[in-house]
């Protein structure tokens, strides 16, 4: 067993970013990944000559996004087309006047979150049950946060809202493919789940399903639901981190990809909303990049429900799309891929949110243990949580902290 300088647990966006930084500094580094692929919740999938992202797909805050800066260097192409959700939905049962009213309701709700937050720190406490747009606000929360407003800390939500620059780009070859390419010069051990980390000795000792590993420093980048589950036994000195992870559960947002046999009537890079009057609805990105695809997106309780039945999401999406485009569209829709992030044992969800009253948990989770055990990942970001660029930033920050601790 060769002792490493740094072992990085998890080869997602944070782990890859940290690994690049540390490997470039000449350290002996190993990315240790429980699954059989690099990327974590960034995953570009392929089908019949087409590719699409089943995980993160947008370079949010692209003007200060580390992945956007890195993409050209690695030979990837950035698409700066304005996202369809950045303008308006197509008018299919959702007239322009109603869309303006719905957007105004959302803006007013955010204003109330800022100006008159309740002592509970619970976003749902500011909902008006009699307002016709309340279901729309709940649906938006499931897309943005992966959870309903009842489970959302106002202070945490606003920390991100203030950080968003509104510049959103895409990676033509796929966000997941970009993360994979970024790891090309970093040693990686796949299918190697870590089950415990011991800090009692001079070197940290990691126990994996394939044996033991020793390292002078360790970065843990696994999702919060994995951390809080006890899947990795951490030292007692990291108990605060486990508590913080419990206060930062992963919301759930899933995608379904349909291939279109006929693109007639589907304008490229536009979006429709299934039903603006109910919370349990999906949004649909029509023909991303002009491809013959429809990307359906659903979050929160509806996504959890659909994950329990393999065909439920496809049936639901077909019904909504038929309601918008007519029953004849059903025969043109072939489901070719679907994410189930909640059922992935080494993810268990999509992206983190703070429970009401626990916005400070991100600071706790991001702290190191005795300058030897470090943590990174989107949940450790104070302002860019729930994003791959937030994960990137925390991975680089952990790498820098290690270099400082080693006086390099």
pLDDT in tens, 32-50: 999 999 999 999 999 999 9
234 and 359 within one domain: yes
pLDDT in tens, 131-144: 999 999 999 999 99
Indicate whether 161 pLDDT > 90: no
How many Å apart are CA 31 and CA 19, to the nearest integer? 7
The answer to whether position 91 is within a domain reads: no
The answer to whether position 169 is within a domain reads: no
384 and 245 within one domain: yes
The pLDDT score that the predictor gives to residue 93 is 76
Burial grade of 211 (CB within 10 A; 0-12, 13-18, 19 or more): exposed
The answer to whether position 208 is within a domain reads: yes
Indicate whether 287 pLDDT > 70: yes
374 and 320 within one domain: no
Indicate whether 90 pLDDT > 80: no
237 and 357 within one domain: yes
Structural domain that includes position 312: 45-62+74-84+250-343
**Closest residue by Cα to residue 190 from 346, 14, 338:** 346
Indicate whether 1 pLDDT > 90: no
Answer yes or no: are the C-beta atoms of 24 and 35 closer than 8 Å: no
The answer to whether position 29 is within a domain reads: yes
118, 134, 161 - which closes a domain: 161
For the chain, the three-class secondary structure string (H helix, E strand, C coil) is CCCEEEEEECCEHHHHHHHHHHHHCCCCEEEECCCCCCECCCCEEEECCEEEECCCCCECCHHHCHHHHHCHHHCCCEECCCCHHHCCCCCCCCCHHHHHHHHHHHHHHHHHHHHCCCCCCEHHHHCCCCCCCHHHHHHHHHHHCCCCHHHCEHHHHHHHHCCCCCCCEEECCCHHHHHHHHCCCCCEECCCCEEEEECCCCCEEEEECCEEEEEEEEEECCCHHHHHCCCCECCHHHHHHHHHHHCCCEECEEEEEEEECCCCCCCCCEEEECCCCCCCCCEEEECHHHCCEEEEEEEHHHHHHHHCCCCHHHHHHHHHHHHHHCHHHHHHEEEEEECCHHHCCCCCCCEECCCCCCCCHHHHHHCCECCCEEECCHHHCCCCCCCHHHHHHHHHHHHHHHHHHCCC
> Which residue reads 């009842």 in tokens?
150
332 and 281 within one domain: yes
The pLDDT score that the predictor gives to residue 88 is 62
200 and 123 within one domain: no
Indicate whether 86 pLDDT > 90: no
225 and 261 within one domain: no
The answer to whether position 36 is within a domain reads: yes
325 and 257 within one domain: yes
The answer to whether position 202 is within a domain reads: yes
* CATH number of domain containing 21: 3.50.50.60
pLDDT in tens, 224-270: 999 999 999 999 999 999 999 999 999 999 999 999 999 999 999 99
The pLDDT score that the predictor gives to residue 250 is 98
263 and 327 within one domain: yes
Give me the chain's average pLDDT, please.
96
138, 161, 184 - which closes a domain: 161
224 and 204 within one domain: yes
277 and 205 within one domain: no
322, 343, 364 - which closes a domain: 343
330 and 254 within one domain: yes
Count up the domains in the chain and report the number.
Answer: 3
The answer to whether position 90 is within a domain reads: no
The answer to whether position 265 is within a domain reads: yes
Average pLDDT over residues 87-100: 80
Q: What percent of the chain has pLDDT over 90?
A: 93
**Could you tell me the pTM of the whole model?**
0.96
Q: What percent of the chain has pLDDT over 70?
A: 99
């Amino acid at each position: 067993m060769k002792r490493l300088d740094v072992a990085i647990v998890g080869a997602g966006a944070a782990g890859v970013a940290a690994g690049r930084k540390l490997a470039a500094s000449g350290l002996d580094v190993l990315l240790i990944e429980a699954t059989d692929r690099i990327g974590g919740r960034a995953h570009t999938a392929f089908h019949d000559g087409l590719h699409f992202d089943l995980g993160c797909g947008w370079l949010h805050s692209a003007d200060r996004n580390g992945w956007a800066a890195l993409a050209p260097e690695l030979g990837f192409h950035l698409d700066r087309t304005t996202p369809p959700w950045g303008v308006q939905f197509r008018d299919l049962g959702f007239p322009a006047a109603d869309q303006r009213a719905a957007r105004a309701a959302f803006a007013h709700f955010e204003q109330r979150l800022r100006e008159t937050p309740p002592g509970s720190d619970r976003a749902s406490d500011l909902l008006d049950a009699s307002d016709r747009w309340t279901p729309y606000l709940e649906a938006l929360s499931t897309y943005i946060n992966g959870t309903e407003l009842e489970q959302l800390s106002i202070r945490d939500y606003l920390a991100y809202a203030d950080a968003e620059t509104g510049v959103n780009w895409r990676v033509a070859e796929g966000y997941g493919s970009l993360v994979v390419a970024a790891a090309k010069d970093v040693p990686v051990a796949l299918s190697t789940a870590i089950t415990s980390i011991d800090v009692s000795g001079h070197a940290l000792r990691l126990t994996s399903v394939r044996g033991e590993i020793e390292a002078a420093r360790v970065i843990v980048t696994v999702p919060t639901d994995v951390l809080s589950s006890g899947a990795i036994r951490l030292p007692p000195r990291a108990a605060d981190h486990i508590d913080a992870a419990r206060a930062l559960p992963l919301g759930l947002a899933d995608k379904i990809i349909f291939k279109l046999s006929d693109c007639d009537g589907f304008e490229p890079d536009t979006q429709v909303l299934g039903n603006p009057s109910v919370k349990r609805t999906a949004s649909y990105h029509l023909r991303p990049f002009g491809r013959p695809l429809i990307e359906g997106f659903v979050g929160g309780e509806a996504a959890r429900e659909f994950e329990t039945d393999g065909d439920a999401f496809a049936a639901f999406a077909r019904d909504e799309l038929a309601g918008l485009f007519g029953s004849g569209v059903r025969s043109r829709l072939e489901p070719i891929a679907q994410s189930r992030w909640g059922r992935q044992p080494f993810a268990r969800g999509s992206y983190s949110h703070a429970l009401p009253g626990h916005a400070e948990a991100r600071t706790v989770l991001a702290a190191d243990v005795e300058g030897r055990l470090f943590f990174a990942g989107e949940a450790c970001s104070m302002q860019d949580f729930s994003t791959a660029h937030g994960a990137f930033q925390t991975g680089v920050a952990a790498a820098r902290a290690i270099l400082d601790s080693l006086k390099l």
